Amino acid sequence: MRLAQLEYFVAIAEEGSYAAASTRLIIAQPSLSQQISSLEKELGCRLFERLPRGVRLTSAGREFFPDAQITVLSAQRARRAARAAAQLETGSLEIATVGSMAIGILPNALTQWHRIHPDVAVNVISYRHRDALEAAVASGVSDLAVGPTPRRWSGQSIRLGREEFVVVLPRDDPAAVNGRLDLTTLADRHWVTFDRDHGLAEWLVTVCAQSGFIPKSATRLAEVAAAVGLAAAGLGPTFVPANVVPPGLDAAVCRLKKPVYRTVTAYARTKFPDTARTFLDALRQVVGPQRKAAPTRRR
């Protein structure tokens, strides 16, 4: 069994057809088919079932896929690390995160870091829920993850700090008083919240339940930035990390009487690659100061 065969198998499984995988890999389709046939012969089982349009994994293929994918991703990272060390290329950094941190934390950290490493290519992969993020990183995706502290983790992890959650309201909303907001004053409101499989939807329900009510939904969204904009426009309050609220937003940004914080952690499947380690300092500088959220603003 050769690494190239595993790369071919993973590409076909991800693309769902030999033709699409052939285009992605820049290899002739007959050669691709021959390599997969050889792999199936060595394994003693069929990996793909032919369909009128494309292919799908057999039960044996589904069992084979996770470890094959991890092997391929690990090999890709090893290649990048070796070439960067040998100064054969400028290197790259792949970061996995959740949607709110992709817009609230990473931009400032990447701006600082990129001044020092301007030639390193950066790829950011965003997930809607912490569980999806953890599963992806465990399967071999990314050089490091930036997200809520993982529930169970055997690889390397570093606590960076924490972020405070706030409620966004229209600037003239009567609930937007000076000082901290009592969440129970919004119990009868209809909220701008998130799709049910989104991590922030889970946070809102949990926090409101602790205040004695279940939030009613005015609308559900997938995008955090859109939720902030709709809340500022008066569609309903929303509940987000303070760092996702853009400076100068014409809205009231209210801290809570019972503050809600989320710990931010960087972690990797095994150990942080050297390139990822250089990014941790920039992350610490951005996350650490966020312990104090902006006060209520009425513009």
Of the listed ranges 25-39, 71-85, 108-122, 235-249, the least confidently predicted one is 71-85
Position 189 scores a pLDDT of 96
What is each CA distance from 117 to 21, 27, 103, 111, 122, in whole angstroms?
A: 33, 34, 21, 10, 10
Position 89 scores a pLDDT of 47
SS3 sequence, 238-255?
EEEEHHHCCCCCCCEEEC
What is each CA distance from 268 to 31, 94, 102, 107, 153, in whole angstroms?
A: 36, 11, 17, 20, 9
pTM score, two decimals?
0.71
For residues 97 and 264, what is the distance between their CA atoms, to the nearest angstrom?
10
pLDDT for residue 29 is more than 60: yes
Per residue in 141-200, pLDDT (tens digit) is 899 999 999 988 999 999 999 999 999 999 999 998 777 899 999 999 999 999 999 999
Position 87 scores a pLDDT of 47
For residues 66 and 6, what is the distance between their CA atoms, to the nearest angstrom?
11
pLDDT for residue 292 is more than 60: no
Residue ranges and CATH numbers for the domains of the chain are 3-78 (1.10.10.10), 85-161+263-291 (3.40.190.10), 162-261 (3.40.190.10)
Most confident stretch, 23-27, 81-85, 95-99: 95-99
